[in-house]
Amino acid sequence: MAQTSPLLNVMIAAARKAGRALARDFGEVENLQVSRKGPSDFVSSADLKAEKTLFEELSKARPGYGFVMEERGAVEGTDKTNRWLVDPLDGTTNFLHGLPHFAISIGLEREGVLIAGVVYNVVRDELFWAEKGQGAYLNDKRLRVAARADMRDALFATGTPFHGKPGHETSLKEIESVIGRSAGIRRWGAAALDLAYVAAGRVDGYWERGLNVWDIAAGAVLVREAGGTVAELDGGDFMKSGAIVASNANLMPQFTRALHP
């Protein structure tokens, strides 16, 4: 593995520990698919268990750091300059249905600036990691965003709002606009992995609205450190609005125009 800092070692160790339990739980989901009750309660407990592991491991290694977590929300720390942004199971619906596409996402924000991120694809044992100014990596391989400059050759990822959530019409209009100008769209259901895939050059760009900070913090660091651009869809602050667009610098102007036809 490429050289990692003490901070990243802490994040990676926590992700791997929580990942081992999630992998075991995922193995159980298949058995539960056929039961009448279904696996939803089981998945909620797997999610909570992973979050507890991450909370304990990160607290032990960096006492005093604050947290923003999917299940427990904001946890104030004595150290007001650092806070972890953690999603213990990004892609819960995939996990619930036995689809092997989900991840653990850990971001660190220092004085309001995102400085490190880890996205761990548990089933494939793909560990995406990055630290500000140090580049982005998948396991021990350096990552670069794809270099495509023409939207017609580019593949994009997005997410759509859950049933009953606002934003469906906007989302469908954006998809229609991008699909007509590109090589295609993928909708995988795990925002952290979508951003990691932009960093790895597997997709050329990604956009989504209505996300939470724990969905996007780690992935945003990955994209930037892989030479890509991350912005807010309408020009504000994506960490406040949860509306994010990510791509390489060449594609970004065409991509954002397509999203605002």
Residue 41 among known ligand-binding residues: no
How far is 160 from 59, CA to CA, in rounded Å?
Answer: 34
- 204 with 102, same domain: the answer is no
If you average pLDDT over residues 138-167, what whole number do you get?
A: 92
Q: Residue 83: what are its φ and ψ, rounded to 5°?
A: -145, 140
In terms of domains, do 138 and 112 share one?
Answer: yes
Q: Is residue 202 part of a domain?
A: yes
Residue 242 sits in the same domain as residue 155 = yes
89 is in an annotated binding site: yes
202-212 per-position pLDDT tens digit: 999 999 999 99
114 and 217 both lie in a single domain: no
Q: Give 22-34 pLDDT, tens digit per residue.
A: 999 998 887 777 6
In this structure, is residue 122 part of a structural domain? yes
* Torsion angle of C-alpha atoms 106, 110, 113, 115, degrees rounded to 10: -50
CATH number at residue 157: 3.40.190.80
Mean pLDDT of 4-19: 97
Q: What percent of the chain has pLDDT over 90?
A: 86
Phi then psi dihedrals of residue 197, to 5 deg: -70, -30
Same domain, 21 and 111: yes
- For 46, the domain range is 6-142
Overall domain count for the chain: 2
Residue of higher predicted confidence among 39 and 70: 70
Query: Residue 54 is part of a domain; what is its CATH number?
Result: 3.30.540.10
Residue 1 lies in a domain: no
| pLDDT tens readout for residues 99-125 | 999 999 999 999 999 999 999 999 999
Q: Which two tokens stand for residue 157?
A: 């990822």
Report yes or no on 54 lying in a domain.
Answer: yes
- For the cut 70, the answer to whether the pLDDT of residue 1 exceeds it is no
Query: Binding residue per annotation — 47?
Result: no
Tens of pLDDT along 77-103? Answer: 999 999 999 999 999 999 988 899 999
Q: Is residue 52 part of a domain?
A: yes
What average pLDDT does this structure show over 144-150?
A: 97
Q: Enter the tokens of residue 244.
A: 């994010």
Give 132's DSSP letter.
T
Residue range 222-246: average pLDDT? 97
Q: Identify whether residues 165 and 136 lie together within a single domain.
A: no
Query: Of 109, 142, 175, which closes a domain?
Result: 142
Examine the domain organization and report whether 182 and 124 are in the same domain.
Answer: no
Q: Give the mean pLDDT of the chain.
A: 94
Q: Are 161 and 132 within one domain?
A: no
Residues 162 and 83 in one domain: no
Structural domain contains residue 19: yes
